[in-house]
Amino acid sequence: MVSLLIISHSAAVARGVKELADQMVQGKVPIAAAGGTLEGELGTSADVITAALDTLPANDGVLVLVDMGSAIMSAEIALEMSGRQFIISRAPIVEGAIVGAIQASAGASLEQTVAAAERALEAKQVGGAAPPAPAPAAPPPVQQAEAASAANEIILTINNQHGLHARPAKDFVQTAARFKSTLRVKNLDRDNTPSGNAKSMIDIMRIGVSKGQRISITADGPDAAEALAALEQLAANNFGEG
């Protein structure tokens, strides 16, 4: 599994970003925070970074996120001496850490994790620009998927309180990632949003699903029926939100 290393000029910032990412993946992804100098001042230190890096297991590589470009030099010194595979990402440190951790928890490679982290701001840009769509009148209960035209397609109504916000979106992505089939999802009540990859946290956040809105999920592959059934059950349980 890919690990994450959070580097900030502030120890408090690094710890806070790590805490957010840890909560999203429930500690399932190794994440280390390296902030400040050895003297506890603002800045970065190769020694602090090395100490944080030593807490991470030797695994499938390290996604490195930094708050400012001046942290890159300290990071490169520590990481190159470690002999580990790593990529220092240009992703935003907060959003990138959360999205990267979620993709890593779904078994993504280092390159896939970095790519997801570097798209992290897309959800914010699209979400802010898209006007909210009204919920359809009298939506059907989520437990009963509507019959769709394709054999491997279901339509569900999302009924949990805040729709597919970060935590249920994470559960959706992690569930989809368990299957080999290609899975696509579209918000049927937002005409201005394209379909997205059900295994991509960014794509799920971009389609902006609110409570009462319907999504279409299509599956193509050897375990398509099982994948759709698992996602249907997840939605039927309101993503564990009661």
Q: Which residues are catalytic?
A: 9
* Pair 34, 52: CB distance under 8 Å: yes
Radius of gyration of the chain measured on its C-alpha atoms:
20
Q: Is 31 helix (H, G, I), strand (E, B) or coil?
A: strand
Q: Is 140 helix (H, G, I), strand (E, B) or coil?
A: coil
For residues 17, 110, 229, 224, the Cα torsion angle rounded to the nearest 10 degrees is 160
Residue 177: count other Cβ atoms within 10 Å of its Cβ: 19
